[in-house]
Structures are given as structure tokens and as C-alpha cells.
Amino acid sequence: MTLAEIRKQFPILEQQVNGKPLIYFDNGATAQKPLAVIHSIDDYYQKYNSNIHRGVHHLSQLATNRYEESRDILQKFVNARKNYEIIFTAGTTGGINLVASSFGKKFLDKGDEVIISAMEHHSNIVPWQMICEERGANLRVIPINDKGELIYEEYIKLLSHRTKLVAITHISNTMGTINPVRKMIVNAHEIGAKVLIDAAQSVPHMKLDVQELDCDFLVFSAHKMFGPTGVGVLYGKEELLNEMPPYQGGGDMIKEVTFEKTTYNCLPHKFEAGTPNIAGGIATAEAVKFMNEVGFDFIEHQEHELLTYATKRLSEIEGVRIIGTSSNKASVISFVVAGTHPFDVGTLLDQMGIAVRTGHHCTQPLMNFFGIPGTIRASFAFYNTKEEVDVFIAAIKKAIMMLS
Ligand code: PLP
């Protein structure tokens, strides 16, 4: 597919906003959906809406088959050993809360430690604070340097026999820093700790292989990888998931219920209580197929070009300071403009048809580290173009003039 053909698959990109062609640079918050995903959701509700797993009738079997096929596609997508190592969740936040609660109850005791980093999204901070408080465990934080990179020696120093889990983002949603997760997993395993990778920002940009990474858990959201909202995936190693208690009780997660005792269902159902987002789960497979069709070579190349070009052009503007200057970055650029508030710049860009995100990006501790209230963040997807970057750069110059 050419870039023009790819863009045709995203009808939302064709519209005007405030009288200007929409330029969508807020992909880090949520990505746009291709027609295949939109049609899949429509198809489900028009043709086979039905509850899964429990029905003998035709529609229920159709829906069950499609839902379970989607699990198989996701298994291949991240190269999990077994399809039941793929647990459907409500998203990255849902997956992290599941692991924090279930792993925490089973494996965290007084004095144990969980390690996170200074660049985590609130979703990968707060659930750990909550479970650590409940279990009498301690949260330790890997510091970062001024470029927005982890200070690796400090990570090594934090690892000890008390460490039970390292929960780390693969790519910073605010700065785009790509963390050396493969190496971090090896080091954590050497002292017997488990590792959870927050892949919310990496699945849309690079091919992941959980066996090669050897992570114990990996979580992501469908909506950031061109799928629907309200769906996500938790990958976990079979033996660990088997040892962990259920997270929520309800339908589908049980084998047998009496008032005296309940026995739990096997994987993956043990962790999937209640009716899930069926249409969303099915449409997630369409998002995966679409990304595979575009191809990760194309995705990585296109996004690298956009990142390099936009970084160069932005750096040339007086008063602009880029936050997060690691040499290993994904297509996310955060910046501040001297003498302006990010919110004001974002509002002016919106008037020119450009969607960016402003604020703390759910990383308040990171904002405190840099001593700023927030940033303006442009995050690119493979359907963005250099021409859009040119318009964006001209719009920033105009916004700076208007605000000075
Ligand atoms: N982790 C990271 C790195 C993110 O960027 C986000 C969302 O921005 C999340 C977690 C939370 O994802 P969700 O809101 O889809 O659960």
C-alpha cells in the first residue's frame, strides 16, 4: 500500500477542522481507525450480535468463534506460546490493575519491593502504590537523566533479593524514549524478579515478540494500535497466570459454583469475568491484520522519517525546548515554548486544524522532574506526512507570534 492508499483507509483524516484540513498528531492518546476495524464493529452488531461462550445457538457460536479467532491472531501478533496466555482486558490500565492486584496478593509481602521508573504513566504508578500499601511492600523508582533516559546503573543498584517485580514502560508516552527492556528483563531475572512491560506505546510502532523479550507480563490497549477503545490485552506466562488468583469474580471465570465453594475456570477465562467487549475484541484482530498489511518495515521507516524531520525543524525555532532527547526514540515529540503555556499553544494549533495534546500526559512526576507544568506533544502514526509536519511548524511559528 502507498501512503495515499493507506490514508484512504482512514476516512476521519479527510475532514476539515476549524476550516482547515485536519492534521492529527495525537496518536499517542489514541490512534485513528481504518475502515476494516469500523466495518468489523458494524458487522458484529448488524449480523451476529450475541453473547459468547455460553450459547448453543448459531449466532452465539459465530460470535464465540470470531472472538476466539481474535485471541489466536493476538497470540501470533506478540508470539505467545499459547493462546490462553492472551487475556482480554479493558486496556493497558485494566491489565496493570489485574496484575498488581492478583500478583500482589499472591507474591508481595511486607518489605518486598516493586520497581518502576520516573517516566511511568500514572497507570503504571498508582496500581503499584495501592497494592504496595495494602501488602506493606515498597515502591522504588529508577531515576532518569536530563535527556529523559533511565540511569541504568541506578536500576542495577535497586535490584535486590527484595525485588519481586519490575514494571516498566517500553516507550515513554511523554518523551518517546525507548527503554532497553530486553537487557532490563535479563538483569531482573538474574535476581529472581518478574517483569511487566507496559507496551501501550510500543505495539503501534514496532513488532513485539514476548518469547524473545522473555517478559513475564506485557500489557497494551487496542485503541492505540488502530483498534477500538475499551479493549486491551494482558499477556502472561502460563505458569505464572496459573499460580495467580482470579482478579474479579463473576460469570465465565468459574467452573462450578455452590454457596459453600466455587472452583475457578482454566486460563484464559479465570481472568475474564463477565461479558466482555465482544465487538471490540473481534475488531482488534482487524487492527492487527491492518498493521501487518501495512508492514512494520514501512511503519518504522515512515515514523523514523517523520520524527527526524520534525525534530530538526522544531529545534530551529527560537524559544522551543524539546523535552526528551534520547538518541533512541519513537515518534513522539514533547516540547515547551519559552514564555507561553502549553495549553495556549495547543488551543491556537487547534484553531489551525492541528490536533496535539497538551498537559502532563498522565506523567506528573516526570513534569516535576523537568520543573514544568506540562508540554505540547505531537505524536505521529504511519499515516502522517512530511507535508503535515511543514504545516505544523508554520502553525507553531504563527502561534508564537500571536502569543508574544
Ligand atoms: N501506559 C502508557 C505508556 C500510556 O501511554 C497509556 C495511555 O496513554 C496507558 C498506559 C494507559 O492506557 P489506557 O488508558 O488505554 O488504559
What pLDDT sits at residue 148?
A: 98
For 383, the domain range is 3-25+295-399
Residue 389 in domain:
yes
Q: Based on the domain organization, do 239 and 128 belong to the same domain?
A: yes
Residue 30 in domain:
no
Residue 404 in domain:
no
Instruction: For residue 12, count CB atoms less than 10 angstroms from its CB and return exposed for 0-12, middle for 13-18, buried for 19 or more.
Output: exposed
Q: Residue written as cell 537487557? A: 183
Q: Based on the domain organization, do 8 and 104 belong to the same domain?
A: no
Say yes or no to pLDDT of 82 above 90.
yes
Cis peptide before 143 (omega within 30 of 0): no
Q: Is 132 part of the annotated catalytic residue set?
A: no
Given pLDDT bands bounded at 50, 70 and 90, which one contains residue 151? very high
Comparing C-alpha atoms, which of 293, 285, 288 is closest to residue 208? 288
Say yes or no to pLDDT of 54 above 90.
no
Which is it for the CA torsion 149, 152, 157, 163, positive or negative? positive
Q: Based on the domain organization, do 313 and 165 belong to the same domain?
A: no
| Other Cβ atoms within 10 Å of 295 Cβ, number | 13
With the most atoms of ligand 1 within 8 angstroms of its CB, the residue from 96, 97, 120, 173 to mutate is 173
370 CA to middle of ligand 1, Å?
Answer: 21
CA distance 264 to 252: 9
Q: Among residues 292, 326, 357, which one ends one of the domains? A: 292
Provide the angle, in degrees to the nearest 10, between the axes of the packed helices 386-403 and 296-315. Answer: 30
Mean pLDDT of the chain: 97
28 CA to middle of ligand 1, Å?
Answer: 9
CA distance 217 to 71: 16
Report the length, in residues, of the chain: 404
CATH number of the domain to which 150 belongs: 3.40.640.10
Given pLDDT bands bounded at 50, 70 and 90, which one contains residue 14? very high
Instruction: For residue 303, count CB atoms less than 10 angstroms from its CB and return exposed for 0-12, middle for 13-18, buried for 19 or more.
Output: buried
Q: What's the rounded mean pLDDT across residues 89-111?
A: 98
Q: Based on the domain organization, do 234 and 130 belong to the same domain?
A: yes
Q: What are the grid coordinates assigned to 160, written together?
A: 535486590
Q: Based on the domain organization, do 176 and 315 belong to the same domain?
A: no
Q: Based on the domain organization, do 337 and 395 belong to the same domain?
A: yes
Q: Whose CA is nearest to atom 5 of ligand 1?
A: 173
Are the beta carbons of 181 and 155 closer than 8 angstroms?
no
pLDDT digits (tens, 9 = 90+) for 205-252: 999 999 999 999 999 999 999 999 999 999 999 999 999 999 999 998
With the most atoms of ligand 1 within 8 angstroms of its CB, the residue from 98, 196, 201 to mutate is 201
Q: Based on the domain organization, do 283 and 302 belong to the same domain?
A: no
300 CA to middle of ligand 1, Å?
Answer: 21
Q: Whose CA is nearest to atom 8 of ligand 1?
A: 29
pLDDT digits (tens, 9 = 90+) for 342-379: 999 999 999 999 999 999 999 999 999 999 999 999 99
The CA-to-CA distance between both ends of the chain, in Å, stands at 44
Q: Based on the domain organization, do 43 and 8 belong to the same domain?
A: no
CA distance 318 to 320: 6
Number of domains in the chain: 2
60 CA to middle of ligand 1, Å?
Answer: 32
